Amino acid sequence: MHEADRELVGELEVQVAAIFASVFAVSAGFAAGGDAPRTTTSLLVQAVEVDCQPALPYFCRNIHVACSGRTEIRTFPFTLRANSSRGWIESKSDTSGIRKSYENGSVDWGRDGTYVIVRPQGREGYIKLLANGKYSFRHYSQDVGIMSYGSCG
């Protein structure tokens, strides 16, 4: 990666972290009644809406180290939305129909505010978004797990 790219990625990570901090602070303030101190339990009413871009044009069988086992299933940019009770993704370029399985998905907010996980309703898989803007996407196609990753901002 070129130095200019590293600097841009670093700047984006800082901006995304600031966005998350703002969202968490505003949500916690509303949940706790405005000026009350923020606690873990006051973070229950949270919301996020971010645009996400995949790093690769296709899903892989495994991405824990690098793309292993490239698939024919194309990745797609999407908007990840989540609130305190549900999560979903929106995309106009999902040619595989994955988006549909995330309608009314379940959501799990990390206790320390460092991540949110959206899971498809009644299916295996997840999208895990970290506070630094990085995401990992695990989907099951014909009972075979495939993965992608990227960044959101």
Residues ≥6 apart with Cβ < 8 Å to 132? 13, 16, 17
pLDDT digits (tens, 9 = 90+) for 14-73: 444 444 444 444 344 334 444 434 333 333 447 889 999 999 999 999 988 889 999 999
For residue range 114-136, list pLDDT tens digits in order.
899 999 988 899 999 999 999 99
Tell me the C-alpha distance between 98 and 115, whole Å: 22
- Give CA–CA dist 95/11, Å, rounded: 31
What are the tens digits of pLDDT across the range 22-36? 444 434 433 444 443
Mean pLDDT of the chain: 77
Interatomic CA distance for residues 23 and 17, integer angstroms: 10
In this structure, what token pair is assigned to residue 145? 């797990």
Q: How far apart are CA 110 and CA 133, in angstroms?
A: 14
